[in-house]
């Protein structure tokens, strides 16, 4: 295959500028995936960053949509007919203040999951989750970001059809990807300064496990791309769990390009709710 550029982002909805949104860029081809750059960009600059590089696909770690029950509640509260497609729903949020959205979530009270949240190897959290971590602001800001991407250059799956030479935008879930790969998926995040040596050691082991995946796991993972991380980038992934999540998001995206047959097609789920609620793109182990 011809080399392509892919990206992965660990998205944050926090108001600080820049917030903890990190972006990893990589080249993927017959030799696998090689990291080209890793940046602490902040959510405010993410669209500009991925638009300035000719990427073939980008995976973002945040909910791309809302649970169907809340979508119906939103239409009722806005005194509108049911939303017919995701684009209409996302545009609604573009013109809605966050405070109004947050109040509607509080009125709704429930925290249902989407169909796709129950279909990953590690179940996803509801996009309306109000505990720790709060998903409300991340979901709101993430959907607004997606709605404002140039439709001439980007198509958001599974909601929009592919376009020639366009960039596919997919929802990814780093923890589920790690679980699929048989790697540690917990214990690498902690704000406690006393825990930093431990979590950095865990991240180092995770990074090495990802790099040596094909060598250490035998034939099970031979369809996954070989990962190369130049030495000058390693410290980012060891020092920051957000940077490491962006790498895992990028690896899932690279796998989507490198071995698309490792992914379940959203429409194969035989649930049309995915066209409003979205789909989480997590690679599967190839069957013998």
Residue 261 φ then ψ, to 5°: -70, -10
pLDDT tens column, 58-82:
999 999 999 999 999 999 999 999 9
DSSP state of 278: -
pLDDT for residue 155: 97
pLDDT at residue 131 greater than cutoff 90: no
Q: How much is the CA Rg of the chain, to the nearest whole Å?
A: 18
pLDDT tens column, 229-284:
999 999 999 999 999 999 999 999 999 999 999 999 998 888 989 999 999 999 99
pLDDT tens column, 205-219:
999 999 999 887 678
pLDDT tier for residue 287 given thresholds of 50, 70 and 90: low
pLDDT for residue 86: 97
pLDDT at residue 286 greater than cutoff 90: no
SS3 112: coil
**Residues with Cβ < 8 Å from 196, sequence gap 6 or more?**
190
pLDDT tens column, 147-203:
999 999 999 999 999 999 999 999 999 999 999 999 999 999 998 989 999 999 999
The domain segmentation of the chain, as residue ranges, is 1-281
- Model pTM above 0.75: yes
pLDDT at residue 288 greater than cutoff 70: no
CB 224 within 8 A of CB 259: yes
Mean pLDDT score across all residues of the chain = 95
User: Cα separation of 188 and 11, whole Å?
Assistant: 17
> In which region does residue 60 sit, left (phi positive, over 0), alpha (psi from -120 to 50) or beta (all else)?
beta
């Amino acid at each position: 295959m011809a080399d392509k550029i892919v990206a992965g982002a660990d998205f944050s909805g926090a108001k600080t500028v820049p917030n903890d949104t990190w972006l990893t860029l990589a080249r993927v081809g017959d030799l696998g995936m090689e990291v080209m750059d890793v940046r602490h960009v902040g959510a405010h600059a993410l669209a500009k960053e991925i638009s300035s590089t000719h990427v073939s696909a980008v995976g973002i770690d945040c909910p791309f949509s809302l649970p169907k029950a809340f979508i119906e509640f939103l239409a009722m509260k806005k005194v509108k007919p049911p939303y017919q497609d995701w684009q209409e729903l996302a545009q609604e949020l573009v013109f809605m203040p966050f405070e109004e959205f947050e109040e509607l979530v509080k009125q709704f009270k429930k925290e249902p999951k989407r169909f796709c949240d129950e279909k990953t190897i590690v179940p996803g959290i509801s996009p309306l989750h109000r505990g720790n971590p709060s998903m409300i602001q991340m979901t709101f800001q993430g959907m607004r970001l997606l709605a404002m991407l140039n439709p001439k250059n980007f198509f958001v799956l599974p909601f929009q059809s592919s376009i020639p030479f366009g960039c596919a935008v997919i929802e990814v879930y780093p923890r589920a990807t790690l679980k699929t790969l048989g790697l540690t998926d917990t214990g690498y995040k902690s704000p406690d300064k006393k825990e930093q040596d431990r979590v950095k050691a865990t991240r180092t082991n995770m990074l090495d496990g990802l790099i040596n995946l094909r060598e250490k796991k035998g034939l099970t993972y031979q369809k996954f791309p070989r990962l190369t991380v130049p030495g000058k980038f390693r410290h980012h992934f060891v020092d920051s769990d957000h940077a490491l999540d962006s790498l895992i998001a990028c690896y899932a995206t690279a796998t989507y390009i490198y071995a698309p047959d490792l992914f379940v097609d959203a429409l194969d789920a035989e649930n049309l709710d995915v066209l409003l609620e979205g789909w989480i793109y997590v690679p599967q182990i190839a069957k013998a």
